[in-house]
Amino acid sequence: MTVETVSRTDAGLASELRLSVMRLRRRLAVERHPDNPLSLSQMTVLGTLHRHGEMTLGDLATHERVQPPSMSRTVGCLEADGYLRRRPSESDGRVQLVSLTEAGRDTLLADRRRRDAWLAQRLADLDPEERAVLRAAAPLLDRLAALD
Amino acid sequence: MTVETVSRTDAGLASELRLSVMRLRRRLAVERHPDNPLSLSQMTVLGTLHRHGEMTLGDLATHERVQPPSMSRTVGCLEADGYLRRRPSESDGRVQLVSLTEAGRDTLLADRRRRDAWLAQRLADLDPEERAVLRAAAPLLDRLAALD
DNA sequence: TATTGTTATACTCTATAACTATA
DNA sequence: TATAGTTATAGAGTATAACAATA
């Protein structure tokens, strides 16, 4: 088996996919709209809160596959800048419930439009069948990333 | 249109794909085999050199979508640890040609086997049709990430 | 004792700006 | 002058360890 054909086998799929995922992630980080003050990770947190509604900090960390201290820091910055709010749970004083503010929601939706301008333009260069492949692939990537 | 259905539209595909790519990349970073001393980015460079053969430092940076100083540092560490070698081009003294050493190749292949153990196991939980989707998706992700 | 979250600290990756060497 | 690469410096993102508050 040669290096060139390894990608067609199941054994090579893992390698191919990992390289591709890393490169696109890096490119996405570069191509953010310059007037958006929020980082890629911060925007992802806003997106998750928009999708799921109010969540605990721990659940947010689990969902984003980061450790609690990392999420604590991310959430701290976003709260300080007014994109989300925290409140303690009534039933369990240890728990912090996190939710989007109106500013966070506006920022998310504006960013989504801008991001779509870049990535959707790249997607427009693909055939409809190729876009269909990626639409099918996205949830599969999430299943691969799932904790179980 | 609701939040839940947005992923079925072309406008929502960009958002979905970005979130999925980021989460899988983070998970891959976590799931590396603990006895591998090399980082995700370092392993990616070894993989690119294995696939392409000897390359200039600049081409390597372009291929990995990083700036030359970033690649200069990555390559410097890998050279110091014996995973690759550099030599100046005969025709142009400014150019550094980078290639894998035997140790780099061995490390790459060993790591590929280990990585496959994790990701291939996750892939094994998918249907053959779903793996086919991902096999088709990987080169499309690279086209999205391409400089043009 | 166990769980949730925070603080302290450090490391990796990446960038931009300024520089050196070569063309 | 222009190009290839390096050095210096800084910032973002993440981790682990130790801690505080609550259950």
Q: Tell me phi and psi for residue A34, to 5 degrees.
A: -65, -25
A13 within domain boundaries: no
- Determine the pLDDT at residue A1: 40
Q: Which domain holds residue B100?
A: 11-145
**Amino acid letter for position A4:** E
A73 within domain boundaries: yes
Instruction: Provide the number of structural domains found in chain A.
Output: 1
Q: Give pTM, 2 decimals.
A: 0.80
- Determine the pLDDT at residue B105: 95
B97 within domain boundaries: yes
Mind telling me how many Å the CA of A38 is from chain B's nearest CA?
15
Under the banding of pLDDT at 50, 70 and 90, the label for residue A4 is very low
B1 within domain boundaries: no
Report the alpha-carbon angle B68-B41-B56, nearest 5. 40
Nearest CA in chain B to A8: B135
Mind telling me how many Å the CA of A144 is from chain B's nearest CA?
6
| CA of A57, C1' of D17: distance in angstroms | 20
B101 within domain boundaries: yes
Average pLDDT on B82-105 reads 96
pLDDT tops 70 at residue B36: yes
A104 within domain boundaries: yes
Over chain B, what is the mean pLDDT? Answer: 86
A98 within domain boundaries: yes
Cβ count near B82 (within 10 Å): 12
Identify which has the larger pLDDT, B102 or A15: B102
pLDDT tops 50 at residue A64: yes
Question: In this structure, what CATH number is given to the domain that contains residue B90?
Answer: 1.10.10.10
B37 within domain boundaries: yes
pLDDT tops 70 at residue A103: yes
Nearest CA in chain A to B144: A122
- What sign for the dihedral angle of Cα B51, B52, B58, B64? negative
pLDDT tops 90 at residue A96: yes
Average pLDDT on A4-33 reads 72
Identify which has the larger pLDDT, B115 or B56: B56
Average pLDDT on B93-109 reads 95
Packing angle, helices A40-52 and B10-30, rounded to 10: 110
